Structure 1
């Protein structure tokens, strides 16, 4: 069943015991979203809602009581996997000049990598990209606006001489760090035992390239 699909009938067989058990609406909605996250991480964003409902032990019509279309469900997955993992205080902390720049960057990437170096985040991100879904583009635009552009201004303020970084430079740093998680969850390749050490080396190389002190 494709994006925008709706349940056409209740002819999915008898509801399972879990479907018959009444749950508070918000709890049921969270159950469906959590199940959809795991489901799409396994089969891709193009997985159909009939199979998802079967896996959750509910009827497809019940699923569509909470999400009118598959697009609505995918949007809830996007919020749960991507937006809800961006801490609201990161922009403030990244621009707090009472803290050394290197300390701010390392704190952000240490926390951020912990949140995204996870099976579901990585696989949904890759699946949605391969499917041409808008999720990735929206997320990357949001990340650029909320995190990377403010951070770029902080780096430029401390860069020495004419070596001011461009946004592409910062994307290269960011992409290199994210690639640690891709190696682990997508390619199943050996990864650093301690990602924090690899992140620290990458950040220090980046800052040194623009004449920024890495001793703080």
Structure 2
């Protein structure tokens, strides 16, 4: 968390982003990152850096003093918007077998949806895919490693199936679990890309989505993983 003085200076910078204002380096860097998130969410990653500098109210040379090239800035945007929204508690909760698996899955996916439903997350995710950048691939690998695989481990345990040590993770298992998070992303796209409404009670919808997945997993997983 930024200090109170940094946060205060950042707020002042937003109110008065003039070119000649001197700001502490950490405040200026934060201002640039926040402005870049806003800019790229609107214009996409092909947005011109000179236009970005103008959007920020700073000179082009000052922008490149902090971020020598555009890819470095995009990487920082990725860290802030995607990795920065990740909650390590989700991984702890998934592995907590003192709580019924259905309850764990429901809580994790409801919280995950609340983290990714932000305007900038959805639009940056879509723009990254359209640009053909590596950001989406990096994020997908991150999600598989930190969410999908742990869920597959718990599903196998729940239904008395072979562990990953005995039977390697199957591609179809990953795809089935990814389908749940993809459904949540689709809800976000409806809001911020298609400008189409979503249900008022998304928490209840996610609860039902997870229940449907769980009941289906009872039938599907034994056909994918045997104890032979």
Q: What range is the shorter-chain TM-score in?
A: 0.7 to 0.9
Change (3 A) 1:210 1:161: farther
> Structure 1, unaligned stretches of length 5 or more?
1-15
Give the corresponding residue for 1:7: none
Give the corresponding residue for 2:202: 195
Given that residues 160 and 211 in structure 1 are in contact (C-alpha distance below 8 angstroms), is that contact kept between their aligned partners in structure 2?
no
Aligned-partner Cα distance in 2 for 1:104–1:188: 31
> Structure 2, unaligned stretches of length 5 or more?
1-15, 163-169, 220-228
Give aligned pairs, total.
196
1:51 pairs with 2:58: no
Describe how 1:3-42 pairs up with structure 2 within 5 A. 18-42=18-42
The higher relative CO (CA closer than 8 Å, separation ≥ 6) is in 1
Given that residues 33 and 76 in structure 2 are in contact (C-alpha distance below 8 angstroms), is that contact kept between their aligned partners in structure 1?
yes
Q: Deviations over 1:80-113 (max 9, x none)?
A: 1100100122211211111111121111111111
Aligned-partner Cα distance in 2 for 1:149–1:211: 17
Give the corresponding residue for 1:120: 120
Describe how 1:95-106 pairs up with structure 2 within 5 A. 95-106=95-106
Give the ranges of 4+ consecutive aligned residues of structure 1 lying more than 6 Å apart after TM superposition: none
Give the corresponding residue for 1:177: 184
1:111 pairs with 2:111: yes
1:208 pairs with 2:207: no
Given that residues 144 and 174 in structure 2 are in contact (C-alpha distance below 8 angstroms), is that contact kept between their aligned partners in structure 1?
no
Q: Deviations over 1:118-143 (max 9, x none)?
A: 11100010011011011011011011
TM-score (norm 1): 0.86
- 1:161 shift after superposition: 7.8
Q: Deviations over 1:170-195 (max 9, x none)?
A: 11122112211111111111211111
Give the corresponding residue for 2:225: none
Aligned-partner Cα distance in 2 for 1:39–1:203: 35
